[in-house]
Chains A and B, each alone.
Chain A
Amino acid sequence: MSKVRVLVGTRKGAFILSSDGKRENWDVSGPFFAGWEIYHMKGSPVNPERVYVSQTSAWFGQLFQASDDGGKTWYQPGVKPDDPNAQPQWPPVKSNRFVYDSSEETGKPLTTHQWYDGTQHPWEFKRVWHVEPSLTDPNTVYAGVEDAAIFKSTDGGANWNEMPGLRGHGTGPKWQPGAGGMCLHTIILDPKNPDRMFIAISAAGAFRTDDGGKTWKPINKGLKSQFIPDPNAEVGHCVHHIAMNPDRPNTLFMQKHWDVMRSDDAGDSWTEVSGNLPTDFGFVIDVNSNEPETVYVVPIKSDSEHFPLEGKLRVYRSKTGGNEWEELAKGLPEKDCYVNVLRDAMAVDRLDKCGVYFGTTGGQVYVSPDGGDTWKAIVHDLPAVLSVEVQTIP
């Protein structure tokens, strides 16, 4: 029988929630890396026992961790997991070394972006927001970072190099940080085209490469953002998250700062599908793994009030690819709920009856084992949840 492993990153450590295919009874392990911010963790589709973790701290900076046994034990790539105190251990660990490429040959010395006051500001590495393991090689992994850039490792996270074509393609000086920083938070690999990747940056927008990351172009046509001088600008949009059903990689769904959008041409153009949503502000969005036109969002009241409408936590589901949305409430808090659901904190499994998961800033992780019809809290009292990923293990 298949099982699922839910990887939960929180403000104060990582947790792993495990269940069989029924998704009724759960084992909770953790906290791992207790006291550290775990922005994201994700397993390799090729080798599910390989799990990558972004571990950060305002004091000690970025760390990168990995597991080869599904999260039972962890190591920093570059340190032998079975011999952590071997002497001498030199050269130094570099799995937390993220240095922007500013070479003439590749990085085209791009060193500034737009700052809050409109001036240009140097690029400064803060943290890794998102890790995306390769679809074909367990040792290849991508990292989306703040200040926005994408890095790649081909040795299991031991060494990282920027893919400089993204920052260097020309619009970088117009990118600007949102309230949460200028983060590259979404990386989507096209399962049918190994040269194609999608990324999203807040607040710059969505971008696509069709040549394995050498060159990139903005894909924001159709987005409208009232908070920038030209609402239809090529870049500057605050994209919160993008989701794709792997069986239909040309169709993308986007939760923007405001507006829920869809594209059927791999991002070349977007149309709004907010339809009858009670508010189209939000952070998360995901697509049912079995039904490519079934989409989930969690409406949040506004950009000024980051909590659900009327204190009722609700998921909204569209079975028509947007525009027509239904409220999903069964098992979710009916009142006095003022949590948020952050952009990387929703995921779906790949079981026959698609499971949907999301975590809240109040420390709850909810599961729906029936595609959203009913919900149940797996845990109630974790630290604020930053990210949720699911592994479906045969």
Chain B
Amino acid sequence: MSISVNNVRVQIPYHLRNLARVEGELVLEVAGRVTIKSVLDALERRYPMLCGTIREHDTLKRRAFLRFFACEEDLSHQSADLELPAAVASGKEPFLIIGAIAGG
């Protein structure tokens, strides 16, 4: 049985784009189910310098000041195994990793 591969659009914060040495939106190949976890796995595999910056090493717990949005929904507190909307899996809509707003 073949495993489907989706091209998922991902937007990451400015500082993480600098760290990964990329510009603009990313497109990641995600094999199988498109979940928060599988997207982050693909992101870290492609850009391992981001390991530990979005979710903690080992526990994979989301860092407190980051949020996950998609299709105008806040998915931050959802299970990492939550299947993302079809529009994200199809590449119609991006998966957004957002830094909490703070001054100073």
Closest to A84 in B: B21
Interface residues on B, range: 20 to 34
The B-contacting residues of A in range 232-255, CB under 8 angstroms, are: none
From 1 to 43 in chain B, residues with beta carbon under 8 angstroms from any chain A beta carbon are 13-16, 19, 21
How many interface residues does chain A have, given as a range?
A: 20 to 34
Could you say which of A63, A78, A85, A94 contacts B53, with CB atoms under 8 Å apart? Answer: A63
Q: Is A1 an interface residue (CB 8 A)?
A: no
Looking at the complex, which of A16-24, A52-60, A168-176, A271-279 is the stretch in contact with chain B?
Answer: A52-60
Q: Is A72 an interface residue (CB 8 A)?
A: no
What 0/1 pattern do residues 277 to 289 of A give for CB contact below 8 A with B?
0000000000000
Q: Which residues does chain B contribute within 8 Å of A62, judged by CB atoms? A: 52
- Taking a contact as CB atoms under 8 Å apart, the answer to whether B45 and A90 are in contact is yes
The answer to whether A59 and B65 touch (CB under 8 A), given A84-B21, A94-B57, A97-B57, is yes
Q: How far is the CB of B65 from chain A (nearest CB, A)?
A: 4
In B41-76, the 8 Å CB interface with A consists of: 44-49, 51-54, 56-58, 63, 65-66
Q: Mark A90-115, 1 if CB is under 8 A from B, else 0.
A: 11111011010000000000000000
Q: Which residue of B lies closest to A36 (CB)?
A: B15
A318 at the interface (CB under 8 A from B): no
Q: Which of B49, B54, B66, B99 has the largest number of chain A CB atoms within 10 A? A: B49
> Do B57 and A60 have beta carbons less than 8 Å apart?
no
Asked if A58 and B57 make an inter-chain contact with CB atoms under 8 angstroms apart, the answer reads no
A194 to B58, CA, bound (A): 33
Closest to A79 in B: B49
**Do A60 and B48 touch (CB < 8 A)?**
no
Closest A residue by C-beta to B65:
A59
Q: Is the CB of A89 within 8 A of B48?
A: yes
A88 proximal to B (CB < 8 A): yes
Chain B residues, Cβ within 8 Å of A58: 65, 102
Q: Closest chain A residue to B55 by CB distance? A: A61
Chain A residues whose C-beta falls within 8 Å of the C-beta of B14 in the assembled complex: 35
State whether B15 touches A92 (Cβ < 8 A). no
Contact of A59 among B44, B52, B100 (CB under 8 A): B100
A78: B residues at CB distance < 8 A: 48
CB neighbours of B65 from chain A (8 A): 58-59
The answer on a CB contact under 8 Å between B63 and A93 is no
Chain A contacts to B: CB under 8 angstroms: 35-36, 57-63, 76, 78-79, 84-85, 87-94, 96-97, 99
The 8 lowest CB-CB distance pairs between A and B, nearest first, are A92-B51, A60-B53, A97-B57, A59-B65, A92-B48, A96-B52, A89-B48, A93-B48
Q: List 22 A-B contacts (CB under 8 A).
A: A35-B14, A59-B13, A59-B15, A59-B65, A60-B16, A60-B19, A60-B99, A62-B52, A63-B52, A76-B19, A76-B49, A78-B48, A79-B48, A79-B49, A88-B46, A89-B45, A89-B48, A89-B49, A96-B51, A97-B52, A97-B58, A99-B58
Q: Please give 17 more A-B residue pairs, beta carbons under 8 A apart, in addition to A59-B66, A84-B21.
A: A57-B15, A59-B13, A59-B15, A59-B63, A60-B63, A61-B53, A61-B56, A61-B63, A63-B52, A89-B49, A90-B45, A92-B51, A93-B51, A93-B52, A96-B53, A96-B57, A99-B57
